[in-house]
Chains A and B, each alone.
Chain A
Amino acid sequence: MISFSKVGKWYGDYQALVDINAEVAKGEVVVVCGPSGSGKSTLIRTVNRLEEIQQGTIMVDGVDTHVRGGDINRIRSRIGFVFQQFNLFPHLNVLQNVSLGPVKVTGASRTSAEARSRELLAKVGLAHKCDAFPSQLSGGQQQRVAIARALAMSPPVMLFDEPTSALDPEMVGEVLAVMKSLAKDGMTMVCVTHEMGFAREVADRVWFMDAGRIVEEASPDEFFERPSSQRAQKFLAEIRH
C-alpha cells in the first residue's frame, strides 16, 4: 500500500532521511519509533508530501506521491493525516471541520457530507459535539475530531504523527481507543508514537529509526524482547525509565 524506495531527504547539508527502503502492506499497522531527531516525523510527512524528498520514490496505493505535475491535492485527499497538534480549524465548528474536505475537495453535497460526518463523529464518540467549536473541546476530543476529519475523505491509508504527544495523560486512552478500533476494522496505518503499549497491542511491525535510517524492522514482540541493534536496546532502556 505504501512503499519507500531509496528515499533521501536533505535540509541543506543535513541529511534527514538516508536511503529509506520499506513497505507497508494493505491492512497493516506499522509503528515508527526512535529517539527525537531520528527522522520519524519527517518520514511520515514525506508520504503525503508535506515534506519534499530529493531522492527516490514513494508510492501510495499505486500512485507516486512525489511525481512532477501530479495532482497533489487529489493524492493528498487519499491519505489521512493526523497531527500532533490536532490543527483543527478554530473558526469552523466540529461538523464543518469534518465535512469541509468532502464538500470542497470531492464535491459531495452538503447534506450527504454532513450525514457522513455525523456518522464518523459518532464513531469517535463525539456525536453530541457537532455544533461545538474546537476551543470548547478538550485535547483528547479535538484529536478525535481530527481523526474523524481525516476519515471523512475515506482514505485507504491513515498516517498519525505523534497523535498523543500533546495530550494530558488522562486523555491518551480515548484517542488510542479510536485508533485501535480503526486498526481492527482493517485500516492501513502508520503511526509515529512513543506509546509502547499501543505498539505491542496493535502494531504488526515496528520500525525503529535512528539518524535518518530505519535501523530495525521487527514484530513488536521481537522488538521489545530482543532488539538486535545496540541503539534500539539503549532507546528501549531509556523509555522504560
Chain B
Amino acid sequence: MLDIVREYWLLFLVGNYPNGPLGGLALTLILSVLGICLAFPLSVVLALMRTSPWALLRAPALALIYVVRGLPLIMFIFWTYFAIPALLGHTVSGFVTMLCALVIYESAYLAEVIRAGIEALPKGQVEAARAIGLSHMQTQRLIVLPQALYNMLPSMLSQFISTIKETSLGYVISVQELTFAAGQVNNMLLTQPFEVYALLALTYFALCFALTSVVRWIERRIQRGRRSMPAAAASPAASVEGAIA
C-alpha cells in the first residue's frame, strides 16, 4: 500500500495537474466548498420562504424541498447532465454539471437545517422584535437569522461533511475528483483494487473525521454559551405559557 502512496500520491492529491486538469482531493475540496458556499444563500432564501406567513411563498419552497429530498442525488446529476446542454445549447464541463447538481441538492437539505434553527427560537424573540416596530424582513434579518444560523452552525458543517462524500458521485460523469483519481490508479495497477480503494476510503475518512472533530468542538462551545443563560430566558416553553394566560 505504501508503494502505491509513494508512486501515486500526487495523482491522489491534484489529479493530472499541471499537465492536465486539476483533480483528485483538491478538486473534491473545491467542489464541496463551492457547492456549500453557493447553496448557502439559496438555502437561506428557501428557509425564509418555508417559514413565511404567506402561503404563496411557502408552497413553492415546500414543493422544491420535498422533491429534492425525495430523490437520490445521482438523479440530479443525470438531469443536469442532460438538461444544461439542452437549455444552454452547448455542453458544459463535468465540473460545472456536478456543481449545479450539488447546489440544488444541498440547498434543499441546508434549508431544512436552517428552518429547524428558525423554528427552535423562542416565539418571544419575534414578538419582541415586532413589538418595537421592526418589519417581518427586518426581524428575520436582524433577530432571527443571526441566532438561528449561529445555533445551527454544527448541523450546517455536518452537511458540508456529507457534501464531501457526495462529490464522489461525480465519478459517473467523469469529474476528475478523488474517487476518479483512485479509479485511474486502479486502472494503471490492475492487480491491487483492494489496496487502492482502501487508500481512497482512508483519505475520505481522515478528512471527514478531522472535520467532525471540529464540529464537535464548535458544538461544545455553543452549548457552553447557552448554559450561561438564565433558565427563564432560555426556556421557550415558559414564554408560550405566558402568551396563553
Contact = CB atoms under 8 A, between A and B. Distances in A.
Interface bracket on B: 20 to 34
A41 B134 contact: no
Interface string B48-71: 000000000000000000000000
Interface in B117-168: 122, 124-125, 127-135, 138, 142-143, 146-147, 150
Contacts of A8: none
Q: Residue among B130, B135, B142, B230 with the most chain A CB within 10 A?
A: B230
Interface bracket on A: 35 or more
A184 interface: no
Given A41-B243, A45-B243, A142-B230, A104 B131 contact: no
B133 A101 contact: yes
A85 B238 contact: yes
A105 B125 contact: no
A41 B244 contact: yes
B128 A90 contact: no
A138 interface: yes
B88 interface: no
B245 A100 contact: no
Nearest to A105: B133
A162 B245 contact: yes
B89 interface: no
Given A41-B244, A76-B131, A83-B239, A166 B232 contact: yes
B242 interface: yes
Contacts of B2: none
A106 B134 CA distance: 10
A81 B131 contact: yes
Contacts of A139: 230, 232-233
B19 interface: no
Contact of B245 (A37, A88, A91, A101): A37
A105 B245 CA distance: 30
A85 B239 contact: yes
Contacts of A50: 127, 130-131
A88 B127 CA distance: 11
A135 interface: yes
A90 B233 contact: yes
B229 to A, nearest CB: 4
Given A40-B245, A91-B150, A100-B134, 9 more contacts: A37-B244, A73-B133, A73-B135, A87-B125, A89-B128, A90-B233, A104-B134, A139-B230, A150-B131
